[in-house]
């Protein structure tokens, strides 16, 4: 009798097991894709990537049963890279509607940007960062600066100490340095930042100067700010406050033989560089506002913004200014030399375009920045590294994102073509995956149409 009971239990247990057809499906698989290893440039063909709970679970060379996955994304003939980081982004601050904020975040995502470093922080960004991390708002991973530290917000060492301490306690990821800070105040910022363990980044105030800035240990210097001024020999007796737009007025005084010494200082002090070269080839450049306004991406920005951009560009380099195309050519050539040297012999480069800024539409501007880096002589692999693994190293999050490895975040771009052969391939997105959530091309295009309609009504 006991044997009969055991036999019945075994039969019942077996009948409860799912058949292959009843197997519970879970996770996502990207099948038969070529992975680009951004650390080396190697291409791993015919790879199968299992994704679950927002992370890369396994990378396999074959899969027996595609039907066991809830979602299968066909990667045959396509290329997979990690999501890109926009390391000089701007996030709207109040008053701004939730609709406008979410549109900006999606513009970044639509161009493969899965991480942004917000460069002008606001208390609302701390909450937004949490909401994105928890999946309540769709957007790239967010790192945010403090509110601006500048000549008006920190006028004394005591004020600097208090604000740096408060911003660290508030939970900002780093401090944003803007122009106008006097050197004693800056030095107190550095002392306090080191004491409370919060990095600082951004501009180089004139009173500080590039050499003192580099020796002070910026985590990053953006726009290559201060470097051209640092090429002016003391014998020129130039007034540092007459430097113009990022040193433009000192162009003809610059001694490029001084570049190696500045680059060495950046390397010795482990200072990352964010070029934002697109600003200098679009805003402050001999290209007309009307030509830039014809670009399709401008349809995603409100008309009032576009009008403001046109006015500001003409104020910077219109016929009533001292802008000279000949001087700009020299100015830009020096910038490109600096960027190339800082890539080859400096500490490292981070991809950032300063968006939204004049004629830099969020997400889309990263492609203009890439063009600028190519103009400087960087290779496609170096540029990919500046937007993937380098940001992860910068944030000390190598075990979280930046490469395609098991256990890392499933922030991925599926491309039709190989970007190592042509960086235009980054515009040919099949889809974007952010924290395991797949957004295909069709969904991206539909959402962009909605954003364009929103812009028309603003």
429-434 and 412-415 beta bridge pairing: antiparallel
- Top-ranked range on mean pLDDT: pick from 13-27, 129-143, 313-327: 129-143
**Is residue 352 assigned to a domain?**
yes
Q: Is the pLDDT of residue 26 over 80?
A: no
Mean pLDDT on 432-438: 98
- Cα distance between residue 198 and residue 172, in whole Å: 8
Q: Given this model, what pLDDT does residue 440 score?
A: 97
Our count of domains for the chain comes to 1
Residues 283/263, Cβ–Cβ less than 8 Å: no
Q: Is the pLDDT of residue 18 over 70?
A: no
Mean pLDDT on 435-444: 97
Write the DSSP string, 178-195. -TT--HHHHHHHHHHHHH
**Is residue 20 assigned to a domain?**
no
Q: What is the band of 319 on the pLDDT scale with cuts at 50, 70, 90?
A: confident
Positive or negative: CA dihedral 48, 115, 139, 163: positive
Q: Given this model, what pLDDT does residue 4 score?
A: 45
Q: Given this model, what pLDDT does residue 96 score?
A: 87
DSSP-assigned beta bridge partners for residue 141: 115
Distance of CA 198 to the CA centre of its chain: 20
Residues 257/236, Cβ–Cβ less than 8 Å: no
Residues 391, 397, 402: CA angle, nearest 5 degrees: 50
- Cα distance between residue 97 and residue 69, in whole Å: 38
Residues 434/443, Cβ–Cβ less than 8 Å: no
**Is residue 212 assigned to a domain?**
yes
Q: Is the pLDDT of residue 289 over 80?
A: yes
* 153 class by beta-carbon count within 10 Å (0-12 exposed, 13-18 middle, 19+ buried): middle
In this predicted model, what pLDDT tens digit does every residue of 50-86 receive, in sequence order?
A: 999 999 999 999 999 999 999 999 999 999 999 999 9
- Cα distance between residue 308 and residue 91, in whole Å: 18
Distance of CA 11 to the CA centre of its chain: 58
**Is residue 91 assigned to a domain?**
yes
Residues 359/292, Cβ–Cβ less than 8 Å: yes
Phi and psi (nearest 5°) for 250?
-100, 10
Mean pLDDT on 336-343: 98
* 434 class by beta-carbon count within 10 Å (0-12 exposed, 13-18 middle, 19+ buried): buried
Distances (CA, A) of 353 to 74, 367, 443: 32, 9, 25
Q: Is the pLDDT of residue 9 over 90?
A: no
Supply the angle between the helices 441-456 and 98-110 in degrees, to the nearest 10. 140
Query: In 3-state terms, what secondary structure has residue 243?
Result: coil
**Is residue 428 assigned to a domain?**
no
Q: Which helix (H) or strand (E) holds 371?
A: helix 365-375
DSSP-assigned beta bridge partners for residue 386: none
Q: For residue 436, what is the DSSP state?
A: T
**Is residue 16 assigned to a domain?**
no
**Is residue 63 assigned to a domain?**
no
Q: Given this model, what pLDDT does residue 3 score?
A: 54
DSSP-assigned beta bridge partners for residue 245: none
Query: In 3-state terms, what secondary structure has residue 146?
Result: strand
Q: Is the pLDDT of residue 25 over 90?
A: no
Q: Is the pLDDT of residue 20 over 80?
A: no
Q: Is the pLDDT of residue 23 over 50?
A: no
Computed over every residue of the chain, the mean pLDDT equals: 94
* CATH code at position 269: 3.20.20.140
Q: What is the band of 401 on the pLDDT scale with cuts at 50, 70, 90?
A: very high
Q: What is the band of 322 on the pLDDT scale with cuts at 50, 70, 90?
A: confident
Dihedral-angle region of residue 190 (phi above 0 means left; psi in -120 to 50 means alpha; beta otherwise): alpha
**Which domain range does residue 445 map to?**
83-394+440-456
Distance of CA 5 to the CA centre of its chain: 65
In this predicted model, what pLDDT tens digit does every residue of 384-394 receive, in sequence order?
A: 999 999 999 99
| Better-predicted residue by pLDDT, 457 or 398 | 398
Q: How many CB atoms lie within 10 A of CB 299?
A: 15
Q: Is the pLDDT of residue 270 over 70?
A: yes
**Is residue 430 assigned to a domain?**
no
Dihedral-angle region of residue 171 (phi above 0 means left; psi in -120 to 50 means alpha; beta otherwise): left
Distances (CA, A) of 65 to 62, 69, 131: 9, 8, 36
Mean pLDDT on 209-234: 98
């Amino acid at each position: 009798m006991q044997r009969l009971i055991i036999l019945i239990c075994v039969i019942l247990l077996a009948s409860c097991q799912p058949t292959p057809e009843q197997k519970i499906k879970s996770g996502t698989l990207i099948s038969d894709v070529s992975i680009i290893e951004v650390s080396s440039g190697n291409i791993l063909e015919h790879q199968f990537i299992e994704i679950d709970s927002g992370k890369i679970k396994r990378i396999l060379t074959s899969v027996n049963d595609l039907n066991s996955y809830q979602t299968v994304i066909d990667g045959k003939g396509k290329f997979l890279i990690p999501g890109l980081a926009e390391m000089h982004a701007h996030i709207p601050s109040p008053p701004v509607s939730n609709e406008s904020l979410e549109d900006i975040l999606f513009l970044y995502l639509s161009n493969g940007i899965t991480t942004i470093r917000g460069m002008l922080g606001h208390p609302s960004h701390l909450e937004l960062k949490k909401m994105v991390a928890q999946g309540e708002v769709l957007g790239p991973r967010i790192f945010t600066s403090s509110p601006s530290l500048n000549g008006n917000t920190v006028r004394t060492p005591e004020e600097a100490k208090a604000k740096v301490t408060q911003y660290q306690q508030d939970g900002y990821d780093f401090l944003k340095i803007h122009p106008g800070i006097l050197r004693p105040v800056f030095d107190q910022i550095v002392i306090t930042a080191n004491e409370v363990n919060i990095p600082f980044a951004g501009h180089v105030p004139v009173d500080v100067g590039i050499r003192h800035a580099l020796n002070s240990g910026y985590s990053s210097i953006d726009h290559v700010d201060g470097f051209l001024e640092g090429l002016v020999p003391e014998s020129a007796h130039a007034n540092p406050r007459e430097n113009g737009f990022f040193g433009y007025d000192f162009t003809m005084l610059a001694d490029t033989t001084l570049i190696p010494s500045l680059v060495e200082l950046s390397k010795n002090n482990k200072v990352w560089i964010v070029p934002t070269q697109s600003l200098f080839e679009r805003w402050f450049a001999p290209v007309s506002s009307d030509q830039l306004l014809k670009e399709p991406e401008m349809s995603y920005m409100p008309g009032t913004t576009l009008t403001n951009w046109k006015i500001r560009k003409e104020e910077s380099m219109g016929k009533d200014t001292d802008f000279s195309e000949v001087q700009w050519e020299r100015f830009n050539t020096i910038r490109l030399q600096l960027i190339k040297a800082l890539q080859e012999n400096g500490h490292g480069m981070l991809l950032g375009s300063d968006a939204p800024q004049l004629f830099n539409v969020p997400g889309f501007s990263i492609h203009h920045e890439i063009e600028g880096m190519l103009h400087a002589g960087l290779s496609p692999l170096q540029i990919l590294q500046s937007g993937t693994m380098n940001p992860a190293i910068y944030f000390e999050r190598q075990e979280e994102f930046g490469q395609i490895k098991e256990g890392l975040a499933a922030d991925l771009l599926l491309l039709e073509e190989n970007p190592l052969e042509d960086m235009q391939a980054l515009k040919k997105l099949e889809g974007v995956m952010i924290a395991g959530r797949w957004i295909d091309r069709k969904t991206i295009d539909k959402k962009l149409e909605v954003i364009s309609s929103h812009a028309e009504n603003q």
